Structure 1
Amino acid sequence: MSWVYLFLAIISEVTGITCMKLSVGFTKLLPSIAIFIFYGISLTSLTIAIKKIDISVAYAVWSGLGTSLIATIGILWFEEPVNFLKIASIGIIIIGVIGLNIK
């Protein structure tokens, strides 16, 4: 169940970051409120997850997959420029997360 909470934390964090972009510097009310809601869910879920998952693994997965997901959203949804280095860097992050999970 801890892994479910961890993945909920990741999805909530990515949603919160996306809302940051959509809030246009806190000028749009609903995305601005959503930032705090989704970060509250994310941090609460992460706190529950680290009861059973090692903090080093949980934080690496949370931050690594969150970074990879938001970079992908930036490319696909916000039409950010993409190049080989950006794609390779996302891959390296994912490899690092996998490496920390190997026991």
Structure 2
Amino acid sequence: MPYVFLLIAIAAEVAATSLLKSTEGFSKLWPTVACLTGYVISFAALSVCVKDLPVGVVYALWSALGTAAIVAIGAVFLGEPLNTAKVVGVSLIIAGVVTVNLGGAH
């Protein structure tokens, strides 16, 4: 069950981050409310995850998968360029998460 909450946390964070641009510096009410709600949901779900999973593993998965998703969303929906540096960077982040998870919860 903690992994379900982790997926909720990742999805909420990705949704909130995707909305950041539309808040126009938090000057637009409804995009701001939606964005901040997403972050609150994300952190609430994370707090449930760390009851049963190591915080390092949870944070590594949350940040890496969120980063990869945001890069993809930026490229597909926001017209941001996807270049070799971004692909290599995300690949290194994912490799780091795999390494952290292989280290286990000793």
TM-score range, shorter chain: over 0.9
Counterpart for residue 15 of structure 1? 15
1:35 is matched with 35
The one-letter amino acid paired with 1:72 is: A
Return 5+ residue gaps in structure 2 as ranges: none
C-alpha RMSD over aligned residues: 1.1
Aligned length: 103
> Which residue in the other structure is 2:56 paired with?
56
TM-score (norm 2): 0.91
Post-superposition CA distance 1:14-58 (Å, at most 9, x none): 111111112122232221100111111000000000001100100
> Aligned to 2:27, what secondary structure does the other structure show?
coil
What is the TM-score normalised by the length of structure 1? 0.93
Structure 1, gaps ≥5 residues long: none
